[in-house]
Chains A and B, each alone.
Chain A
């Protein structure tokens, strides 16, 4: 029924980035998504390229070696840089540090070391390339974050580390996840209590690792207060979902979208495209019990890969892209090896996705651009490239559309407006 300059399908990092950039650039944007996306699940560190296949120290230099089939080939180093610059600007209320020059090396919740190009400032002091002792502060009531495990694994990797566990529980709660603690940390009284419990138990030169739960309403207030009161570097370590850092990023991007005037509809399951020649003229979305058509000049597909349901593998081993029905490339055929034994192995099926050209368009379609984990040719969980690909391809898709719009007026008549 409606007609927009651009429809963005998906509200993960790729979709939010594309939509926000498009709306800021003057496009009338409609965002359709089945539900809230991966921002709430991942750490939202911008991992551009961490392994290729050896650990990467200078991500900007490693980009060139990834080959033509990789999503970064469509973006280029300049494109990744532009996306990072934009993102860091947007994230001013929750500042990010780092860039393409060097990877930081941050601990995960189990004490593995993960290379990331750009990270929230609240995590930056966790860069383990710098020496020094680490004290991991844990909360016994917080599920899935075990300070001793983290410290022991860091020690095993040669980094001097120990754990301190606190028995503080946010008021009245029996079962607390990271968001419950983050809300508690929004209250100055809880921060004071934590600081008071720690003061006597800290070594002189330690830096302090906390689970990434240091506040949600003000994304840096609790972190800077603890750093100042404890007079030591303080850093956050991403937790299992829900991801508080991801929720901070989601809130900022969502607000950005709102201010730029984009329409956002959740629970809209895009399941088909209306085509005319080499163009998609509209999408079909299932909303509740209804099927609604939305027309657009451009469509950005950012529905994610197998994990998010943007790609599906059926019981007959057929892979499909669920929203627009785009062809999926790279899925192993009958008789070919699909999966390997180890969870983190190089699974052939993992490379499957929608193949695009340098303009992020799938073959044969002029006005559809694909961004994020739907793209073929990457293995984000091995490369540590997931959010880097999502951010840079989402940003690039928007830039390409804005460029085309500037070069030529829309092919379809603008809608009547007051």
Chain B
């Protein structure tokens, strides 16, 4: 049965009536706590939303400074979907103001990867050339200091096409995301190798492209809907066959699990609903196996010190911090948990010239904690956060899967 009305979307917006103005979201908002340019989630969310009338111009553009980290929704004791309301409102704002070339660019990581990979040495040189970056900053507003992805010139998909996964005690499908495909193919390969070591036969569904999250964050809902519908079509056969889908890009996994249905009004997409029901953050999935007593836990010792930062979008899954439970299985590994809510970059937010310094200030607490800990490695579940953290701390930053891969004796 077709749902003619976006029931879930209305529920998201309707939740603003539960706001009691308690200000708890404001106390946690990492952005409003470092800049007066953003008046805070309560103000631009449930309060301002009452004044946003369809087909009328909103008088206040300050919500553009929301980074979309989602912490407000997580801490709200009344169940108000503050971040979702703000993301929808920002899209409406942008539809009126138009989209900047820069935002159109960062909303398409897949296109960028496709263009950069064949000419990787040139692309990497360009992206790291200070002069060209300064020109880029003046021309398009991409901050010249911001950490951009590197392109190794090979893709994870290419590796996966040549790889045959041996039969295992269970099957999983791997949703690799743009980051692993174009910039960190080794993360994707390690994920497959680790899953196989843990007894999984790993499918890598063909034709995976962008999930639409960067487009959604930048207010381009039409593009985001097209992307996520395409992604759902590619992953749906696995879900239909009862195969669970695991992702290493935690924010993209959250997009498929929840955000696209809640924010983009796509709750009527049958493929997306199916994928949404079957998709897991990889650490969430492994801890589920652990809780059922079905995870192989004979990890070897790893005598090193790491810090762990659970990114804001990982916290949006509502699964606690499963990476900590997994790393606790590794003998000799000392894990120092960071308690920052956000590193600042929030996907593409911290790349923008007018927001770069805000992102830096948001992350200052985390960067300080990592610097104090002097870790052998920093650990974090999200790729854009890893690049941002590396740029500010110099600490090599890896996905939790890399720790387990090492402890399993695979690298």
Contact = CB atoms under 8 A, between A and B. Distances in A.
Nearest to B37: A172
Interface in B34-79: 36, 39, 43, 73-79
A3 interface: yes
Interface in B67-104: 73-79
Contacts of A3: 291
Given A35-B78, A35-B79, A241 B329 contact: no
Interface string A1-13: 1110000000000
Interface in B237-272: 257-258, 261-262
Contact of B292 (A1, A34, A247): A1
A415 B287 CA distance: 12
B319 to A, nearest CB: 7
A314 interface: no
A275 interface: no
Nearest to B365: A217
Interface stretch (A80-88, A107-115, A262-270): A262-270
Nearest to A12: B77
Interface stretch (A36-44, A133-141, A351-359): A36-44
Interface stretch (A49-57, A174-182, A324-332): A174-182
Which DSSP category, helix, strand, loop or mixed, fits chain A's interface? loop
A158 interface: no
Contacts of A309: 77-78
Contacts of B24: 35-36, 40-41, 241-242
B320 A36 contact: no
Nearest to A255: B339
A33 B310 CA distance: 18
Nearest to A263: B320
Given A255-B339, A288-B257, A418 B299 contact: yes
Contacts of B319: 265, 287
B201 interface: no
Contacts of B317: 287-288
Q: Which of B23, B290, B292 has the most CB of A within 10 A?
A: B23
A31 to B, nearest CB: 9
A266 B318 contact: yes
A415 B75 contact: no
B25 to A, nearest CB: 9
Nearest to B297: A418
A289 B258 contact: yes
A142 to B, nearest CB: 13
A41 B293 CA distance: 41
Interface in B376-399: none
A173 interface: yes
B276 interface: yes
A199 interface: no
A255 B339 CA distance: 9
Interface string A258-289: 10000111111100000000000000000111
B321 interface: yes
Contacts of A268: 318
Contacts of A1: 288, 291-292
B171 to A, nearest CB: 19
B272 to A, nearest CB: 11
A236 to B, nearest CB: 17
A207 to B, nearest CB: 29
A405 interface: no
B297 to A, nearest CB: 4
A288 B12 CA distance: 11
Nearest to A37: B77
Contact of A40 (B22, B261, B321, B337): B22
24 contacts: A1-B291, A2-B288, A2-B291, A3-B291, A35-B78, A35-B79, A40-B27, A172-B36, A173-B36, A175-B39, A242-B24, A258-B337, A258-B339, A263-B321, A263-B325, A266-B74, A268-B318, A288-B257, A289-B258, A290-B257, A309-B78, A416-B293, A416-B297, A418-B329
Task: Give the 7 A-B CB pairs with smallest separation, nearest first.
Answer: A35-B77, A416-B293, A287-B318, A418-B297, A2-B291, A288-B258, A36-B75
Interface of A: 1-3, 30, 33-37, 40-41, 172-175, 177, 179, 183, 241-242, 247, 255, 258, 263-269, 287-290, 308-309, 415-418
Given A33-B77, A289-B276, 8 more contacts: A1-B292, A30-B320, A35-B24, A242-B24, A269-B79, A287-B317, A287-B318, A416-B293
